[in-house]
Amino acid sequence: MEQFKKKLEEIIDFDIKEKEVTWGNDSIKKLEEKYKLKLPQDYVFYLQHFGNDYIREDYRFISTIELPQKIKQTQFEIDSIYGLDNDENKLENKIKFYKDILPADLLPIADLPGGDLVCLGKRDDKQNKIYIWFHEMSGENVYLVAESFENFIKNFKRGKAEKNTLDNVKMKLSGKLNDFLSNASKK
* CA triple 119-120-123, angle to 5 deg: 130
Q: Using pLDDT thresholds of 50, 70 and 90, give the confidence band for residue 168.
A: very low
* CA triple 98-99-105, angle to 5 deg: 110
Bridge partners for 55 per DSSP: 12
CB of 53 closer than 8 Å to CB of 83: yes
- Nearest C-alpha neighbor of 4 from the set 46, 67, 44: 46
Domain at 147, CATH number: 3.40.1580.10
Question: Domain limits at 112?
Answer: 2-186
Residue bearing the bigger pLDDT, 29 or 51 = 29
Q: Which whole-number Å values give the CA distances from 111 to 27, 90, 131, 178, in the listed order?
A: 22, 12, 11, 33
What does pLDDT average to over the chain? Answer: 86
Q: Can you say whether residue 47 is alpha, beta or left, with left for phi > 0 and alpha for psi between -120 and 50 degrees?
A: alpha
Residue 1 confidence (pLDDT) above 80: yes
Average pLDDT (160-181) is 56
Average pLDDT (15-26) is 71
- Nearest C-alpha neighbor of 131 from the set 169, 160, 98: 98
Average pLDDT (132-136) is 92
Q: What tens digit of pLDDT does each residue of 48-78 get?
A: 988 889 999 999 999 999 998 888 888 999 9
Residue 23 confidence (pLDDT) above 60: yes
Residue bearing the bigger pLDDT, 166 or 113 = 113
pLDDT, residue 87, reads: 87
Average pLDDT (103-107) is 93
Pairing of the two strands 59-62 and 75-76: antiparallel
- Nearest C-alpha neighbor of 143 from the set 59, 60, 57, 73: 73
Residue 157 confidence (pLDDT) above 60: yes
Global pTM reads: 0.80
Number of domains in the chain: 1
pLDDT, residue 11, reads: 93
